[in-house]
Amino acid sequence: MTVYRNYINGRWTEPRSGRYVDNVNPATGEVLGRAAVGTEEDVAEAVAAAKAAFARWRKVPAPRRAEILYRVGELLRERKEELARKMTQEMGKVLPEARGDVQEGIDMAYYMAGEGRRLLGYTTPAEMPDKFAMAVREPIGVVAAITPWNFPMAIPTWKIMPALVAGNTVVFKPATDTPWMAYELVRIFEEAGLPPGVLNLVYGPGETVGEALLRHPDVHLISFTGSVESGRHVNQVAGAQLKRVHLELGGKNAVIVMDDADLDLVEQAVTWSAFGTTGQRCTATSRLLVHEAVYDQVVERLAARAAKLRLGNGLDPQTDVGPLINGRALEKVAYYVDVGQEEGARLVVGGRPATEGELARGFFFQPTIFADVTPDMRIANEEIFGPVLAIIKVRSLEEAIAVNNGVQYGLSSAIFTRDVRNAFVAMRDLATGICYVNHGTIGAEIHLPFGGMRATGNGHREAGLAALEVYTEWKAIYVDFSGRLQRAQIDEVKIEDIG
């Protein structure tokens, strides 16, 4: 059994609490390891280490910083299979998806390693003669990366890698449900040659360890992925201290199915994006807005397909859908199924925990579809984060777009159509940060901006070049080589004086 300790200033250290919690396999109930319960003192030590390391790390040439990230990418690639197997045990997602999660980390490592030789700023003409002007990117300082359990490898890399290549140092607080992946990732950074203090790891609950990071005056940037409620709290506490806050919050993503859609493709794509990762992606499809002309057909096809999905341990190649992450998640999903029934939606498939045989040991819930949902129902507005799809009938593209945009979230959306006009209207009018045509709502690639509008975030984006906007700030530099006092906006530049 592995014991995951905090990693502070290049050393694996006991938490000050002396306490550890079990890391449980959500498919079997087996205890996989024990994770440190960090304290405020551990956070203070980690922040102090990150602050001290920043003084040097910010001056290491970015291409050199990038070489370490590249090496991390190589190590992740070599260990992809081993890491994926561990991830499936720790988090439950089926093995091919766990491989994909590690792959996102590899992709991000190589992509951000490339940024080490770019991190582009710009030069621009100065308005006075014999004067040079440029804008360069600077690191911000100590970054707190607070990450969720649903992409336990990918999301930490989305935060840590751009932060590091830009010259920041990091304190990483992973989700309590996935300490193993955090441990493996930090070990790989250590092996790749990252200097002590540049990346620190503190385990523990949000209420204590997370809170201490929000409040610590030497933490300059909080990057948080999680619920809207927690995100609001992060923003209030850290924002009040004028820290930079980057938030990736919930989703209530919809797929629009038009009357001219390829329904075979819809069937496959929606099943994948609604029930893949057991619906536990911020990008998961949780609403399906179906044109009335194909409504009955789509409901019937999806229900038949959902009923055939095989639940089980994600290591078993026969399994389509793994467990939910823990008992609280199972209760939440069951609660929303009750809510949907009370609201008058029609349960067409699923609706109960799955407890046959071996499944009783884990947190399994049947893939569930509600039809005849109306846009005002709670199950059409609130994020359930489980295998529950709400199908809503619409009469036109305009109505579908209005329903899509009518929720508080704006992460991902999609349209299935063969009509180029429908596609372009949807691309223009869907109010989400990510938009797909003829593809479900999941599966974003790491070199494009990732994030959402309205309550999904606070305007920042993860991944892609957009990540650099989060992890750097601009410095405008003016060099006057005229040898005299030149006052911008005041002294007139006379063309005849120019020699």
Report the first-to-last Cα separation within the chain, whole angstroms: 77
User: One-letter amino acid identity for 287?
Assistant: R
Taking CB under 6 A as the rule, does residue 442 contact ligand UN1?
yes
Query: With respect to ligand UN1, which residue has the nearer C-beta, 403 or 444?
Result: 444
Chain positions 151 to 170 lying near ligand UN1, rule: CB under 6 A, are 151
Q: What are the two backbone dihedrals, phi and then psi, of residue 475, each rounded to the nearest 5 degrees?
A: -120, 125
**DSSP, residue by residue, 238-266:** HHHTT-EEEEE----EEEEE-TTS-HHHH
Q: Which of 212, 94, 113 is nearest to 157 (CA)?
A: 113
**DSSP, residue by residue, 142-187:** EEEEE--SSSTTHHHHHHHHHHHHTT-EEEEE--TT-HHHHHHHHH
Catalytic member of 248, 383, 435, 462: 248
Are 360 and 340 a contacting pair, CB within 8 Å?
A: no
Taking CA atoms, 186 is separated from 82, 161, 171, 397, in Å, by: 15, 12, 11, 47
Tokens at 399, concatenated = 């109505």
Contact segment (CB under 6 A) with ligand UN1 among 70-78, 187-195, 232-240, 280-288 equals 280-288
Query: With respect to ligand UN1, which residue has the nearer C-beta, 246 or 281?
Result: 281
Residue 443 CB, shortest distance to ligand UN1, in Å, is 5
Q: What are the two backbone dihedrals, phi and then psi, of residue 360, each rounded to the nearest 5 degrees?
A: -60, -25
Taking CB under 6 A as the rule, does residue 281 contact ligand UN1?
yes
Residue 76 CB, shortest distance to ligand UN1, in Å, is 16
Query: With respect to ligand UN1, which residue has the nearer C-beta, 100 or 141?
Result: 100
Binding mask 453-492 for ligand UN1 (x = CB under 6 A): ----------------------------------------
Taking CB under 6 A as the rule, does residue 87 contact ligand UN1?
no
- Residue 389 bridge partners (DSSP): 369
Contact segment (CB under 6 A) with ligand UN1 among 107-115, 231-239, 281-289, 313-321 equals 281-289
Residue 71 CB, shortest distance to ligand UN1, in Å, is 23
Taking CB under 6 A as the rule, does residue 275 contact ligand UN1?
no
Catalytic member of 282, 383, 435, 462: 282
Residue 458 CB, shortest distance to ligand UN1, in Å, is 16
Residue 268 CB, shortest distance to ligand UN1, in Å, is 16
248 an active-site residue?
yes
Taking CB under 6 A as the rule, does residue 444 contact ligand UN1?
yes
Taking CB under 6 A as the rule, does residue 409 contact ligand UN1?
no
d(CA 71, CA 99): 19
30 an active-site residue?
no
Phi-psi region for residue 27, left (φ > 0), alpha (ψ -120 to 50) or beta?
Answer: alpha
Contact segment (CB under 6 A) with ligand UN1 among 33-41, 276-284, 310-318, 381-389 equals 276-284
Q: What b/e string do you get for 298-314 counting C-beta neighbours within 10 Å, with b at 16 or more?
A: bbebbbebbeebebbbb
Binding mask 43-62 for ligand UN1 (x = CB under 6 A): --------------------
Q: H helices of 192-227, where?
A: 211-215
Annotated active-site positions, please? 248, 282
Site residues (vs ligand UN1, CB under 6 A): 104, 150-151, 281-283, 442-444
